[in-house]
A and B are shown apart, each in its own frame.
Chain A
Amino acid sequence: MSLLSKNRSVVLFAVISVLLIVLFFIDTVLGSVLIPFSDVLEVLLGKGENAVYKTIILEFRIPKAIVAVLAGSALSVSGLQMQTVFRNPLAGPYVLGISSGASLGVAIVVLGVSASGFSSLSGLGTSFSLAAAAWIGAFVVLMVVLAVSLRVKDIMTILIMGMMFGSAASALVSVLQFFSSESMLKAFVIWTMGSLSSVAGMQLWVFGVAVLIGLVLSILSIPTLNVMQLGEGYAKTLGMNLTLARVMVFVSTSLLAGSVTAFCGPIGFIGIAVPHISRLMFRTASHSVLIPSVMLTGSVTLLLCDILAQLPGMESTLPLNSVTSLVGIPVVIYVVFRNRKFAGV
């Protein structure tokens, strides 16, 4: 049986990896500018001569596909970590209020400035200042959650604190929205729709390093995650340093979810849905399998969502956040009905 499941995992990993490569390629082929398949291949092989195609592919589409891979992994791993630590299948990357903190940061920059009269301030829309603001917002929420989790031992209290803090941040965002100008409001709303295409050059490096550190932390947490899913009692009986383990997971989750929110906006439902897709496929509760599998599955899912958002064959694109929600929500509904505890069967 264990040999069988091992073989099953190997086959699944191979299939998903191939799918990842195929979708990565499709994502670079598709876009609002139609580039013939053969030209894409030539540019990728370094032989292309059309400078416009070269710029579009190397400076826009490939970075965007890389961002999709990184953001998909990051959101899915942080969602898995939260589901394990809070022992709740509906937890996601944003339960600690990280996304709301990031939104508040962005809102203060975009809307707060306009409310205070500096509406002519230039460069507000540059994504780097938005990312910095979002990061600071996420970081402040993280500090509060950490401070609470060092003092409070009960995991439900930490969860409630995170949710309340997130709601408070959202309320402040609404206040800022109410007092802001129309154009600023539009800039903010566009940020909340999510986009993978505003990360390039230096920002891509910053984003990549932040996500990689978060992923390494989550890999280091594999043994403690396996124990934490049994609950606090078991973790303590087994002599685990629960506070340290939680701090590691929270820092990792904030780096992952916070960076994605900062650079791409709040992308919904990937983080909740993908861990369930992985569990259904791999049928395991072991994080040494789940962590790599949600990384791959998350990348594949976000690439797929981005391809759908391109509306292949049309010139306009859909907001990414809507697509991820429409893809993720059916999965979450399926999980809720499949779970005997929730469905009440």
Chain B
Amino acid sequence: MSQSLLNIKELSIGYESQRALYPEITEQAHSAELIALVGRNGVGKSTLLRSLAGLQHPLEGSIEVDGVNLNSISRSEKARLISFVPSEQVKIQNLSIRSFVGLARFPYAGWGGGLSKHDWSIVDSALSSVGISNLSARDISLVSDGERHRAMIAFAIAQDTRVILLDEPTAFLDLPNKFETVRLLSQIASENSKTVIYSTHDLQGAIHEADSIWMMLPDGMVSGSPEDLALSESFQKLLVNTYVTFDMDTGTFKNKPSGSEQVYVTGEGLQLFWTVKMLQRIGYSVTTTDSASKRIVCSKTSSSLMWDLEVDGEPKLQFSTLKNLAERLKNNVKKCVS
């Protein structure tokens, strides 16, 4: 493995004159590595990112970038090694996106704050690398949330640092924008040999895209590749005292445990797949033994899909949508309970 770019040693985070918020953290990050920082609300993800970015002082420990201890260098030298994209959106009226990204060159500008041609070419290539060159003259307060967040990522690229930190970059985005943002971060990390660390609540997205996951559990940090964490059953630790479970077979999270009542299903292809999904959603477990008291037969005619429900001691029923079938099954459960 390549030499570590970001080296965190025995870092203790928290607010001045108070006890440490979190157990000491020792982690390494490498170049071209995309890291997702996950953890429950309030565990200290933002505090860790803010401490790494130098927005607040760590209580103890050291942070090194490229072998340089951040405590031993000036503010502006630090600003050339590590950049931070806050979760709060920039909504300043009359500020064009290009001018906004131009401000990222502040650590490189002289006393007058003027930017050179070289600076502007870096700004323009940052804009094009996030795909918003066409918006460069637009007012940043008037573009969509997704576009604004890309401008904020372009800002970090233009700041030209080895490490980029982002606080919940996908929080306000719709589904396609979420995926696109994480893909973009992955691309930035690999193409420019940077370390990109982003905090997120989208564990599912992190499992699919991140090279590593840093999991902030209440009793300490657990890290590794998403697959290693899955195999060591670490995700379950994040889900203690919740209704959510991690399904090892599919690599997805589910928000209900499988029900105790069994149902037998026959059918084929996608119709069977989505029928099973529905049954799991409403709390049934699917069995392959036809001795179960409820049996569903998936069938199809030339124009539509059909479902037959057989329940012991009741007449056979036919449904044309899964919605109706689900309602019928739910009522059945209620009857049994009452």
Q: Which residues of A contact B (CB under 8 A)?
A: 1-2, 222-224, 226-227, 229-231, 233-234, 236-241, 279, 283-286, 288
Contacts and interface: CB of A to CB of B under 8 A. Distances in A.
Contacts of B112: 222-223
B99 A285 contact: yes
A303 B154 CA distance: 44
B106 A227 contact: yes
B54 A227 contact: no
Given A230-B103, A237-B54, A222 B113 contact: yes
Given A1-B137, A222-B113, A233-B55, A239 B93 contact: no
Contacts of A240: 75, 106
B88 A233 contact: yes
Contacts of A230: 90, 92, 100, 103
Interface of B: 53-55, 74-80, 83-84, 86, 88, 90, 92-96, 98-100, 103-104, 106-107, 109, 111-113, 137, 159
A285 B106 contact: no
Contact of A239 (B75, B92, B113): B75
Closest 7 CB pairs of A and B: A223-B113, A239-B79, A1-B137, A239-B76, A285-B95, A239-B75, A238-B106
Contacts of A229: 92, 95
Given A230-B103, A233-B88, A285-B93, A238 B98 contact: no
B88 A237 contact: no
Contacts, number: 72
A284 B103 contact: no
B88 A226 contact: no
A237 B92 contact: no
B320 to A, nearest CB: 45
A311 B53 CA distance: 59
A223 B107 contact: no
Given A1-B137, A233-B86, A238-B103, 17 more contacts: A222-B112, A222-B113, A223-B112, A226-B103, A226-B113, A230-B90, A230-B92, A230-B100, A234-B103, A236-B54, A236-B55, A237-B53, A239-B78, A239-B106, A283-B94, A285-B92, A286-B99
B107 A233 contact: no
A345 B96 CA distance: 23
Contact of A237 (B55, B90, B95, B99): B55
Contacts of B111: 223
Contacts of B86: 231, 233-234
B58 to A, nearest CB: 14
Contacts of B99: 284-286
A311 to B, nearest CB: 37
B116 to A, nearest CB: 14
Contacts of A222: 112-113
A231 B107 contact: no
Contacts of B76: 239
17 contacts: A2-B98, A222-B113, A223-B106, A226-B103, A227-B106, A231-B86, A231-B90, A234-B86, A234-B103, A237-B159, A239-B74, A239-B75, A239-B77, A239-B107, A284-B99, A285-B92, A286-B99
A279 B94 CA distance: 8
A238 B137 CA distance: 23
A274 to B, nearest CB: 15
Given A223-B112, A285-B94, A233 B103 contact: no
A237 B113 contact: no
A4 to B, nearest CB: 9
Contacts of A227: 103, 106
B92 A238 contact: no
A227 B76 CA distance: 14
Given A223-B113, A283-B94, A238 B104 contact: yes
A238 B82 CA distance: 9
Nearest to B53: A237
Nearest to B83: A237
